[in-house]
Structure 1
Amino acid sequence: MPEISGLLPKKPLLIAIDGPAAAGKGTLAQSLAAGLDLPYLDTGLLYRAIGKLMQIAGLDLDDARAATVVAQRLTPDDLRRTDLRGREAGELASRVAIHPGVRAALVAFQRDFAHGPRGAVLDGRDIGTVICPDADVKLYVTASPEVRARRRTDELLAKGRAVDYEAILTEVKARDERDSGRAEAPLRPADDAVVIDTSALGPDEVLAKALSVVENWQQAR
């Protein structure tokens, strides 16, 4: 494990981490947040939480006004639910993500979280480009589609799911094309982001590279 203690921030530090699915950004974000003693927000859970809360309340997920109200009332505690990772929650998220009011409420939620008194670590797909373009440190974590498909396949197999690597690879490439080609907040590195390719790196190596970026930022202040 890389040495972190000497890098503990003395002032608020905001770190934005973007990248495609299965590149390792979530693992890195959690390690950085824990090591630097910063609040962490997994933005991928936001829409899932809205969908799940609406389902539990018996609300119509296609009701834009109701979805917006739920999004405006979202709290960090709602993201600690244990039922936000499965396929069902993902499908619910896709239903509510189309509502502009939900998007606006969650953008505000993320920015409020990011600019707390201690700073924060956020990971997602548009943190450094849209949500927090003022972030102190911006990282773009990526890996080849083949490597990410293999990681996802291994993860699902470990959970007892019957999956096919080639099918997962096709899904990964299709999602990359959708995310990078969308008109609003496309997936791309911020102009001032440091790109970390994790294709041939382990978690500790990725963390070491990220800490080096943080150290460089601290020294340049």
Structure 2
Amino acid sequence: MKKIVIAIDGFSSCGKSTMAKDLAKEIGYTYIDTGAMYRAVTLYSIQQGFFSDDKLDEEKLESSMNDIHISLRFNPETGRPDTYLNGVNVEKEIRDMEVAGKVSRIAAVPFVRHAMVPLQQKMGEGKGVVMDGRDIGTVVFPDAELKIFVTASPVIRAQRRLDELKAKGDFKSTFEDVLANVKERDEIDSTREEGPLRQAEDALVLDNSYMTIPEQKAWLLEKYHNIVGS
């Protein structure tokens, strides 16, 4: 059976990563979380003090890019890849609200995207990958055989994100805080000059506002089999 590249783009907190991981596992593909790579750069910037409130010192970050080494390593316990920053597993740290509140700012920086995109392209050059992010079908793999654009209402996405945070032990974040973060990220992601979030012309739209996870999985598998012919 031929292998393809599956590009899943869409708004934050749409469940892209979950559906991409599950799809990759189901069809025996490698899952690549490009958002985690930008989150790792964000975490590094926070640790190094490159942020003053919400203002980023881009000069300091640019001069440090050669010191940032990001890798995705398969975790046999979870069956999914973990994100490593300079050899340290930071999968938990990159998922907190502080990183979430700043990652869109980092992802909008041209030199950061110029560093990340070639890494992502190299990871997928052998095909047989499911990659999710904001610009996979438009910039990273514009020739991907299957492109999905995921959307859902901001209110629903905020509630999903809040539930996820609570499940991880974060009871400080409020619904209002999370909703504000979702809307802010939508604005930044959609209006940035470099690799903005937009639907590729040949992408299939998946509005999962009121879909169950099994319904999403069935929908994705159908589209996949339509492409590979099995």
- TM, length-normalised to structure 2: 0.77
What is residue 138 of structure 1 aligned with on the other side?
A: 147
Q: Distance in 2 between matches of 1:121 and 1:49?
A: 20
Alpha carbon RMSD of aligned pairs, Å?
2.8
**Offset, 1:147:** 1.0
Q: How does 1:200-211 map to 2 (within 5 A)?
A: 200-211=210-221
What is residue 154 of structure 1 aligned with on the other side?
A: 163
Of 88, 112, 119, the residue aligned with 1:102 is 112
- Cα 1:66–1:19, aligned 2, differ >3 Å: closer, same or farther? same
Secondary structure (helix, strand or coil) at the match of 1:76 reads strand
Of 23, 33, 41, the residue aligned with 1:50 is 41
Of 60, 66, 69, the residue aligned with 2:66 is 69
**Offset, 1:69:** 1.1
Secondary structure (helix, strand or coil) at the match of 1:84 reads helix
**Offset, 1:59:** 9.1
- AA of the residue aligned to 1:146: V
- AA of the residue aligned to 2:215: E
- AA of the residue aligned to 1:181: T
Note the alpha carbon deviations across 1:23-75, whole angstroms, 9 max, x for none.
Answer: 1111110011111111111111112323545777x69775244432135x533
**Normalized per residue, which structure has more strand?**
2
- Cα 1:96–1:144, aligned 2, differ >3 Å: closer, same or farther? closer
Q: Distance in 1 between matches of 2:42 and 2:172?
A: 26
Structure 1 runs not aligned, ≥5 long:
1-9
- Cα 1:99–1:146, aligned 2, differ >3 Å: closer, same or farther? closer
Q: Distance in 1 between matches of 2:45 and 2:116?
A: 15
- Cα 1:152–1:48, aligned 2, differ >3 Å: closer, same or farther? closer
Larger mean Cα displacement after TM superposition, 89-98 or 203-212 = 89-98
Q: Distance in 1 between matches of 2:152 and 2:208?
A: 5
Larger mean Cα displacement after TM superposition, 174-183 or 143-152 = 174-183
Secondary structure (helix, strand or coil) at the match of 2:94 reads coil
Q: Distance in 2 between matches of 1:197 and 1:94?
A: 22
- Cα 1:176–1:91, aligned 2, differ >3 Å: closer, same or farther? closer
**Normalized per residue, which structure has more helix?**
1
Give the fraction of aligned pairs with identical amino acids, expressed as a percent.
40
- TM, length-normalised to structure 1: 0.80
Contact 2:8–2:130 (CA under 8 A) maintained in structure 1? yes
**Offset, 1:153:** 2.3
Q: Distance in 1 between matches of 2:198 and 2:100?
A: 22
Contact 2:20–2:132 (CA under 8 A) maintained in structure 1? yes
Q: Distance in 1 between matches of 2:62 and 2:176?
A: 40
Structure 2 runs not aligned, ≥5 long:
51-56, 74-81
- AA of the residue aligned to 1:213: K
Q: Distance in 1 between matches of 2:71 and 2:170?
A: 33
Q: Does 1:36 align with 2:33?
A: no
